[in-house]
Structures are given as structure tokens and as C-alpha cells.
């Protein structure tokens, strides 16, 4: 009598499934060193499980996600020095600002709160969307799954860090608002410089003193000269009148 084993087709299917998953498993193993510590722990459990048999559909999904995180260009820290941005916030803290922030091209930079796990870092957001952070050492870490938005934010932050004075000035000229406090630029000097004198002092940046000496038109200059002359004439007239009445000021 001849017996036919019903287990052979089952094991053949298992072996075929393992073989189909092997390229993805190998890719994760190769990308493993580029993962964060937390992701490495998860990846290690998946790699161990793959040695015991085929992974489930959900497990294979995470194999792909982790591999993509490790190999995606935005998943790797950009080794560009952004310490000038950190230094600006350090200066603002010394000046006594409680909630300093910088707005550049639609993104907002603000320091992590005292006592938080990321204290010393600078957060980068677009509205309420977190795009990444700048470490205290000036390194850029993009947010996971932020994709192109994080890359665009990094480009703006990098440009600002290269020349904060010029970038802040350009932002003010483009929007009409100070990029530091967000207020509208109304003083002639602030409009010319691109940011306000108080913010300049708080962040340690150069600025003309409160807009004095910066005239936006000849007529305004003439009006100011006339007012000063009129004030001088009034003072002289009062002095003469007081002398005549033997009154001292």
C-alpha cells in the first residue's frame, strides 16, 4: 500500500513564503545600523522572528517601513552646522525673553521648554506640524515621515543660519513684519532694516538706533527739521520772556 503525505505541500508552501520574504529581510538587516536605537530594538525582534519561520503580513509591513526609514534621505541627520540659530535663542534667553521665536518662509523656530527631554534644541514647525529639530550642537534631525516638507524646512533654516542678519532683513522686507516678534514694521528705521530695534537688541543683531536718521522722503526730513527749528525758537522765546520777568527756569 502506498501512503501520500499531506505535510509535504504545506512545508513546500512555507519554504516558498520564506524565500519570497528573504530579500526584504536581508534589506532590513543591511539597513539596521542606520536606524535609531528604538527602531533597532523593533527591527531586531523582527529579524529574530524571521529565523523561526515566515513573518505575518503585518510584520512584513513593518520590515518595509523600518527599511525605508533607514534608507530615506530625510531619515539621516544632515551634518550642517546650524549653531548660529541655537546661539540666537541663547542670546534671547539671556535677554529675558520667555517665548522667543523666529519665523522664516512659513516655518517657525522655537526653543524646547526648560525641563523637556529636548531642552537645548530648537523645534521647527509649519503651523502645528512638527518638521524637525536643531540639536544644541547645531545638527538637523528631520521628523519621521515629514518627507519633502522637512527637506524644504531644512533648506530655509540652513539659509537663515548662514547669514541671520540678511535672512531676517529679507523676511521683513518680504512680509512687512518682524520675523522675531511677528509685529508689523512701522518705524522708518525698522522698515529699512527689516526688523525692529528691540528684537535686534534681544537677539544680539545690528540695527540703526530706533530709525533715527533714516528718512523715507525729503518732505519728511524737511518737516522734521522745521519742527526742531520751531521747538528751538519756542525755547528761545520763553527764555527771553523769563529774563524780562526775572524768572529763572
Contact by Cβ (8 Å): 124, 176? no
- Region of residue 157 (left: phi > 0; alpha: psi -120 to 50; beta: else): alpha
Number of helices (H), then strands (E), in the chain: 9, 5
Residue 238 pLDDT: 41
Q: Where are the domains of the chain?
A: 7-71, 83-209, 215-249
CA atoms of 174 and 167, how far apart (whole Å) = 10
The predicted structure's pLDDT at residue 32: 86
Angle at 93 between CA 91 and CA 97, to 5 degrees: 120
Please give the pLDDT value at position 79: 54
Residues in Cβ contact with 49 at an 8 Å cutoff, skipping those fewer than 6 apart? 55, 59
Residue 71's pLDDT is what? 78
- Counting beta carbons within 10 angstroms of the beta carbon of residue 4, is it exposed (0 to 12), middle (13 to 18) or buried (19 or more)? exposed
What pLDDT is stored for residue 8 in this prediction?
Answer: 62
- pLDDT attached to residue 55: 92
Strand partners, 184: 177
Residues 6+ apart with CB under 8 A from 67: 24, 27, 28, 31
Answer whether 0.85 is exceeded by the pTM: no
Task: In whole angstroms, give the CA distance from residue 130 to residue 95.
Answer: 27
Residue-level pLDDT at 7: 53
Question: What's residue 221's pLDDT?
Answer: 30
Sheet with 122-126, side-by-side order of all strands? 102-104, 107-111, 122-126, 129-134, 140-142
Mean pLDDT by 10 residues, the chain (249 residues): 56 86 92 83 92 92 90 55 93 94 96 90 94 92 87 94 94 96 92 94 82 35 37 40 38
Amino acid at each position: 500500500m502506498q501512503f501520500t503525505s499531506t505535510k509535504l505541500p504545506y512545508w513546500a508552501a512555507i519554504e516558498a513564503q520564506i524565500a519570497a520574504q528573504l530579500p526584504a529581510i536581508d534589506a532590513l538587516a543591511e539597513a539596521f545600523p542606520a536606524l535609531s536605537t528604538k527602531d533597532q530594538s523593533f527591527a531586531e525582534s523582527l529579524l529574530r522572528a524571521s529565523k523561526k519561520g515566515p513573518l505575518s503580513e503585518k510584520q512584513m509591513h513593518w520590515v518595509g517601513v523600518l527599511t525605508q526609514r533607514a534608507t530615506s534621505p530625510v531619515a539621516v541627520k544632515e551634518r550642517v552646522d546650524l549653531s548660529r540659530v541655537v546661539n540666537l535663542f541663547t542670546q534671547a534667553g539671556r535677554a529675558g525673553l520667555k517665548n522667543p521665536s523666529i519665523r522664516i518662509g512659513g516655518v517657525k523656530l522655537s526653543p524646547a521648554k526648560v525641563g523637556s527631554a529636548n531642552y537645548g534644541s530648537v523645534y521647527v514647525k509649519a503651523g502645528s506640524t512638527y518638521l524637525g529639530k536643531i540639536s544644541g550642537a547645531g545638527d538637523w534631525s528631520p521628523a519621521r515621515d515629514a518627507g519633502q516638507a522637512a527637506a524644504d524646512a531644512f533648506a530655509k533654516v540652513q539659509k537663515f543660519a548662514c547669514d541671520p542678519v540678511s535672512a531676517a532683513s529679507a523676511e521683513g522686507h518680504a512680509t512687512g513684519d518682524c520675523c522675531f516678534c511677528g509685529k508689523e514694521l512701522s518705524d522708518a528705521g525698522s522698515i529699512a532694516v527689516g526688523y525692529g530695534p528691540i528684537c535686534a537688541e534681544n537677539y544680539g543683531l545690528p540695527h540703526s538706533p530706533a530709525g533715527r536718521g533714516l528718512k523715507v522722503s525729503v518732505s519728511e526730513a524737511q518737516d522734521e527739521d522745521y519742527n526742531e527749528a520751531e521747538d528751538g525758537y519756542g525755547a528761545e522765546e520763553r527764555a527771553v520772556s523769563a529774563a524780562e520777568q526775572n524768572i529763572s527756569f
